[in-house]
Homo-oligomer: A and B are copies of this chain.
């Protein structure tokens, strides 16, 4: 059923109802113990990164190899046919003849959705501009449920660049399926966009917007930090004003609950001080670990025969 519902691929967190999330998290959990398999033997994944990526691309490629499949792809938008002026639609209609599933990242918000309209094979949105990054949000949920035991009832802070940050957009949408208390923590300039908040309100998500994380740190179960993404700002002056607004340090940990967990999709620049890294509460490298089983689960579901 997941397989049929997601025949066009994973484009947006909005495709997922609670049952879908539970199902794919369960599949992700099963993949943790089964490091290698031949489930996708004879399958080819195409990784089309029009916008550069290290983590997400390598994570998908590793997941595909762990499933016995193979990978083709390109790594920047600075590639031959795009340089020559080819449209996304044409690139997709070509690459679908070379592969069984396409993972794509693009600087435009609607790119993955558009690609899925032209493709006969599933598309996975691995980041579309300031829009969404649904597989990151799924691996974030796998991390939280594995490390915290549950989602329900948690106090979760989402902090940093809530305006341009595609990971928090997808994560907050997924969380709107659960009974959680959300704190959107950002400077005024980087608050969630109204259209995103409207969607969450329709789903009756309980959230508050604040600017100083220290005021609620002691009640949080999870703090999800994000990088202020220079590449999304049109006005670099605006970027300079907010880029260093938050820096989480080791002494911040003293004001947190025993079960508090700090997440970050990475890369981090200055927003988490390295002196936090060795704390058991810092689980951002574990997130990258959970990325493999989660993406294996997604790839296996989409390429099921």
| Known contacts A85-B267, A269-B84, A269-B86, A95 near B58 by CB under 8 Å | yes
A3 to chain B, nearest CB (A): 20
User: Which residues on B sit within 8 Å (CB–CB) of A83?
Assistant: 52
Chain B residues, Cβ within 8 Å of A66: 42, 44
A22-54 interface (Cβ within 8 A of B)? 35-36, 42, 44, 46, 52-54
A98 adjacent to chain B (CB < 8 Å): yes
**Interface pick from A72-80, A173-181, A195-203:** A72-80
CB atoms of A55 and B70 under 8 A apart: no
Q: Which residues of B contact A82 (CB under 8 A)?
A: 54
Q: Are A97 and B53 in contact (CB under 8 A)?
A: no
A55's contact among B85, B89, B94, by CB below 8 Å, is which? B94
Q: Does A169 contact B (CB under 8 A)?
A: no
Q: Are A55 and B81 in contact (CB under 8 A)?
A: yes
Q: How far is the CB of A81 from chain B (nearest CB, A)?
A: 4
Interface string of A139-172 (1 = CB under 8 A from B): 0000000000000000000000000000000000
**CA A61 to CA B266, docked complex, whole Å:** 27
Given known contacts A85-B267, A227-B84, A269-B85, A44 and B72 CB-to-CB distance under 8 angstroms: no
A59 within 8 A of B: yes
Say yes or no: is A289 at the interface (Cβ < 8 Å to chain B): yes
Q: Which residues of B contact A46 (CB under 8 A)?
A: 58
Query: Is A288 an interface position by the 8 A CB rule?
Result: yes
| Interface status of A99 (Cβ within 8 A of chain B) | yes
0 or 1 for each of A215-234: is its CB under 8 Å from B? (1 = yes): 00000000000010011000
Bound CA–CA A54/B99 (angstroms): 14
Which residues on the B side are within 8 Å of A80 (C-beta)? Answer: 52-55
A130 CB–B CB distance under 8 Å: no
Q: A59-B98, A74-B75, A291-B97 are known contacts. Are A54 and B269 too (CB-CB below 8 A)?
A: no
* Given A94-B288, A98-B292, A267-B90, A54 contacting B42 (CB threshold 8 A): no
A239 at the interface (CB under 8 A from B): no
Interface pairs A-B: 7 shortest CB-CB: A86-B267, A52-B80, A62-B98, A65-B70, A54-B81, A36-B42, A81-B267
Interfacial residues, chain A to chain B (CB-CB below 8 A): 35-36, 42, 44, 46, 52-55, 58-59, 61-62, 65-66, 70, 72-75, 79-87, 89-91, 93-95, 97-99, 227, 230-231, 266-269, 274, 285, 288-289, 291-292
Would you list 17 pairs from A and B whose C-beta atoms are within 8 A, ordered by A residue? Answer: A46-B58, A52-B83, A53-B80, A53-B81, A54-B74, A54-B80, A54-B81, A54-B91, A54-B94, A55-B80, A58-B72, A58-B98, A61-B72, A62-B99, A84-B231, A86-B268, A94-B266
